[in-house]
Structure 1
Amino acid sequence: MIVVCAASGALGRLVVSELQTRGADVVAAVRDPARAPAGVQARRGDYDDPASLRSALRGAERVLLVSSPELATERRIQQHRAVIEAATDNGVRAIAYTSFLGADRAGDPMNAAHHETEQAVARSGLAYTILRHPFYTDAFVNAGLAAAVASGRLESATGGRGLNTALRSDLAAAAATVLTSDEHLGRDYDLTGPLWTYPELAAALGAVSGKPVDYQEAAVEGPMGFLMGLARAGALERQTDDLARLLGRPPVSLRAAVEQALATGVDGTREH
């Protein structure tokens, strides 16, 4: 039995769906069982309630620890430790953790909770796999791009530098692969999607919509401005083939992501 923690979140739901498609025996651990994915056994497993986690993980062979969205580092670490301890107490065979790129290195405040959680997983005595995620493509390529198509203009503050983002759906498929095979135990994976730039995104929008979309550099405020600042500094250009190897295929291309976004409408940010 595989227990997916935080299964009511955007990533958790996709992982549950992937596991169901593969015929796995899957249980959704959620803070509110009423919000659990349809068609799957749900158990209450609240990151702030260790007793509920011990109950939710009972009988599990494998567990996916989806990182908490909590912003306070110490509380986030405490939440993750509660899941790890519940897994240990229940004799869980293996755990997978959705970390973030660069969390293997100490000293980065943004990754402090991920780094400490990786260390706690390694110290737990459980067999484990670390899945270090990039930022989600969904945060950048989403239904909001329809406005750029309508105006004929796409703006960013990235300086034309590359972004190594990946779609949640690809990351969920990779997690399902790890959770259904012993091959990946004891491994750390640095997952990146195909490198893309905002000028390339403007071109893809034009090609998919049939309307010209020009690219312009402009100041961007708020959380998206922060992410674009990282890109402009070259911090999002690292590339590995780990995601492609776990998927057994190339990750979804920028063109395909644009087609999906304009056709169905998606939105999101990093879930870690």
Structure 2
Amino acid sequence: MFIVTGASGKLGSLIVEALKRLVPAHQISLSVRNPEKLPERLAAGVRVRRGDYNDTDSLRHAWAGAKRLLLVSSNARASGDNPLDQHEKAISVAKEIGIERVFYTSQVSSNPLSHFPPGRDHAATEAMLADSGLAWTSMRHGFYADSILSMHEHGFATGTLTGPEDGKVAWVTHEDLAEADARLLSGHETIEGITPPLTGNHALDLADLAQMASAVTGRTIERQIIGEDMMLESLHRAGLSGNVLEIIIGYYRAAKAGEFETVDPTLSRILGRDPRQIPDFLSEKMPRT
């Protein structure tokens, strides 16, 4: 049995769709906090059970009979909760019930000293896995391309991408990462421990993105560098919480330090093709005017 956690989220749902192309649906089980919210297309032909990282009994039930578990990392830090406590509970249950291998969705910034708070969480979780006695694979994802749009929606609309000094990022789509994750979970690919960075083929900073977006939309989009204090003041006015502010500022510091810039061919090898190019991604998401 292949277990996919977080199957109602964007990454998890795409992993389920990719996994259904690789293994029979009856061998797949979905572990979600709210099964009633799962779209019918995802639930079709698979086992669905409630599994909440904060409820170990629910995890034991949701993961019963599993051999391979894909553990989608918690985003609890953004809301002020403790993702490490959740991960620790999940890994403990996986060991208790005899999971043969855990697959964890990590990130390229994984490092105890990362400027990016989630990067420190990923490093701590990888250490838990290494100490667990379980067989494990940690997929070090590149930065999600969707974040280009979510972080800079206002900037693309107004024509100015504003933020502190940044650095190059090897952006990659959820779809490409989900396909690679499904191939690893299903056993079509095997990597022990930490994977190489699973990234796009090009690293781009905000100035590069502004130029690409200008070409795609036919509008002039510029890059404006401001200080961290000015950025924080603007985010405070927008009503964002302290936890979210820490993550956003951490992103800029980490990008400037080169934590997201590595380009690696491993994702291309697993997919058997080049990952989606960012100009094509922007062209689909941003209408031309």
TM-score (norm 2): 0.78
The SS at the match of 2:194 is strand
Give the drift of 1:97. Answer: 0.5
Residue of structure 1 equivalent to 2:21:
21
Residue of structure 2 equivalent to 1:166:
172
Specify the code of the residue in structure 2 equivalent to 1:139.
S
1:49 aligns to 2:49 (yes or no): no
**1:75-116 deviations in Å (ceiling 9; x for gaps):** 42231122222222332222101122243x445583443223
The SS at the match of 1:80 is helix
Give the drift of 1:148. Answer: 5.0
Give the drift of 1:37. Answer: 3.9
CA contact (8 A) 1:28 1:36 kept: no
Supply the distance in 2 between the matched residues of 1:132 and 1:252 (Cα, whole angstroms). 18
CA contact (8 A) 1:18 1:176 kept: yes
Supply the distance in 1 between the matched residues of 2:97 and 2:251 (Cα, whole angstroms). 39
Give the drift of 1:23. Answer: 4.0
Q: 1:112 to 1:227 in 2, by over 3 A?
A: closer
1:208 aligns to 2:216 (yes or no): yes
1:128 aligns to 2:136 (yes or no): yes
The SS at the match of 1:162 is coil
Residue of structure 2 equivalent to 1:254:
278
1:230 aligns to 2:236 (yes or no): no
Specify the code of the residue in structure 1 equivalent to 2:278.
L
Q: 1:85 to 1:37 in 2, by over 3 A?
A: farther
Residue of structure 2 equivalent to 1:78:
85
* Worse overlay, 147-156 or 243-252: 147-156
Residue of structure 1 equivalent to 2:266:
242
The SS at the match of 2:76 is coil
Residue of structure 1 equivalent to 2:238:
none
Q: 1:134 to 1:185 in 2, by over 3 A?
A: closer
Residue of structure 2 equivalent to 1:118:
126
Give the drift of 1:53. Answer: 0.4
Give the drift of 1:213. Answer: 2.8
Supply the distance in 2 between the matched residues of 1:212 and 1:180 (Cα, whole angstroms). 45
Give the drift of 1:22. Answer: 3.0
TM-score (norm 1): 0.82
Residue of structure 1 equivalent to 2:100:
93
* Worse overlay, 72-81 or 33-42: 72-81
CA contact (8 A) 1:13 1:37 kept: no
Specify the code of the residue in structure 1 equivalent to 2:9.
G
Give the drift of 1:47. Answer: 0.3
Supply the distance in 2 between the matched residues of 1:6 and 1:113 (Cα, whole angstroms). 18
Aligned pair count reads 260
- Any unmatched runs of 5+ in structure 1? 264-272
The SS at the match of 1:245 is helix
What CA RMSD, in Å, does the superposition of the two structures yield over aligned residues?
2.8
CA contact (8 A) 2:152 2:161 kept: no
Specify the code of the residue in structure 2 equivalent to 1:88.
K
Residue of structure 2 equivalent to 1:30:
32
CA contact (8 A) 2:171 2:278 kept: no
Specify the code of the residue in structure 2 equivalent to 1:176.
A
Residue of structure 1 equivalent to 2:239:
none
Give the drift of 1:225. Answer: 4.7
Residue of structure 2 equivalent to 1:4:
4
Percent identical pairs in the alignment equals 32
* Worse overlay, 120-129 or 61-70: 120-129
Supply the distance in 2 between the matched residues of 1:75 and 1:60 (Cα, whole angstroms). 26
Supply the distance in 2 between the matched residues of 1:73 and 1:210 (Cα, whole angstroms). 40
